Amino acid sequence: MIEKYKELFECKEEFLLPSGRACPGCGGGIMTRLWTKATGGKNVVFGGIGSCGTSTTGMFPIGNMTRIPAIAALLGSNGPTLSGMREALNIRGMQDATVMALDGDGGAADIGFGAYSAMVERGHKVAVCVNDNEGYSATGGQRSGLTSLKAWTRTTHKGKDRPPKHLPFLLMAQDIPYTATANIGYPDDMYRKMKKALDQKNQPSLIQVLCPCIPNWKYEPRKVVEVSRLATETGMYPLYEYEKGSFRRTVFIKKKKPLQEYLKLQGRFDHVTEEDIKEMQAYIDALDRKIDGYIRMYSVEIF
């Protein structure tokens, strides 16, 4: 077990400062801590965009929450902001500097997706980590394009009637060098993907990370890892990566756990009926088939 997580402890330094504003038991706080540690903290600039991540990395007038220089841009403007940061560093002869970012699912998948698509098309050397808490949690908990099917939000009281987007699938269509899903409940898999995304040979890159949100998912703070792992163990949030034209699963679940085990831990699914659960299970089965199809389509083995 110690060997499995050995890479997580290679960097002894901490780059998030005390008194961060993430909720106790926040999945995003866990993700942000490891995202900053994966950089090593040297020769790095950080774009922390309007999301829950902004509360983790800095909030006026309290001051910065990370030792890494962080720039807060407007919600939805991450793509051009990061491109500008990259170009400015290149002009100064700092091509080897790392430009990394933290964004929310609303900012990345909805409001700012077109800007990200343009950034990828331009080929800027930038690494993006998406805090996927499945909603606009920083503004009260409205639904986003990444909100789970049937999940309650402030704007979907009867449950969201649409399945979520999958950012990696969208960016694969642009042949992005590296994109993946990750989950804070699988820190070894997540950290390995972060290191890959931060390698300039794999950029532009984007990782979509499942980060449970206590106020809007309505779970007990001590259950954050259990909830996270069940998302993958039930098939709701599969883990995979696309690297230079090759696609594969990174965490294999030999026998999925019943979906109800995941749903019962969260108040946002208290309203679901048996018919809803059948619909959600059908979605999981269809998603599995889609992933198997991508594995066949992108079968070049580079690992």
Q: Mean per-residue pLDDT for 160-178?
A: 96
Tell me if 279 is assigned to some domain: yes
Tell me if 218 is assigned to some domain: yes
* Mean pLDDT, rounded, of the chain: 89
Nearest-angstrom CA–CA distance, 162 and 45: 36
- For the chain, the domain total comes to 1
* Of 36-40, 122-126, 242-246, the least confident: 36-40
pLDDT per residue as tens digits for the range 258-281: 999 999 999 999 999 999 999 999
The pLDDT of residue 301 is above 60: no
Tell me if 174 is assigned to some domain: yes
State both tokens at 215. 């106020």
Confidence (pTM): 0.92
The pLDDT of residue 71 is above 80: no
Tell me if 1 is assigned to some domain: no
CATH code of residue 220: 3.40.50.970
* Of 70-79, 102-111, 227-236, the least confident: 70-79
Tell me if 13 is assigned to some domain: yes
Q: What is the pLDDT of residue 154?
A: 94
* pLDDT category of residue 15 using cuts at 50, 70 and 90: confident
- Closest listed residue to residue 107, CA positions, set 50, 176, 154, 147: 50
Q: What is the pLDDT of residue 303?
A: 47
Tell me if 302 is assigned to some domain: no
Domain range holding 53? Answer: 6-297
The pLDDT of residue 239 is above 60: yes
Tell me if 288 is assigned to some domain: yes
Q: Determine the distance from the C-alpha atom of residue 173 to the mean position of all C-alpha atoms in its chain, rounded to a whole number.
A: 19
Nearest-angstrom CA–CA distance, 171 and 206: 9
Amino acid at 261: E
Q: What is the pLDDT of residue 55?
A: 61
Q: What is the pLDDT of residue 243?
A: 96
* pLDDT category of residue 59 using cuts at 50, 70 and 90: low
Nearest-angstrom CA–CA distance, 230 and 72: 33
* pLDDT category of residue 293 using cuts at 50, 70 and 90: very high
Q: What DSSP assignment string belongs to 77-101?
A: -HHHHHHHHHHHHHHTT-TTSEEEE
Q: What is the pLDDT of residue 45?
A: 86
Nearest-angstrom CA–CA distance, 155 and 229: 26
The β-bridge partners of 42 are: none
Q: What is the pLDDT of residue 56?
A: 59
- What contacts 21, CB < 8 A, 6 or more positions away? 55, 56, 59, 62, 65
Tell me if 283 is assigned to some domain: yes
- What contacts 119, CB < 8 A, 6 or more positions away? 79, 80, 82, 83, 126, 204
Q: What DSSP assignment string belongs to 189-220?
A: HHHHHHHHHHSGGG-SEEEEEE---HHHHT--
Q: What is the pLDDT of residue 68?
A: 77
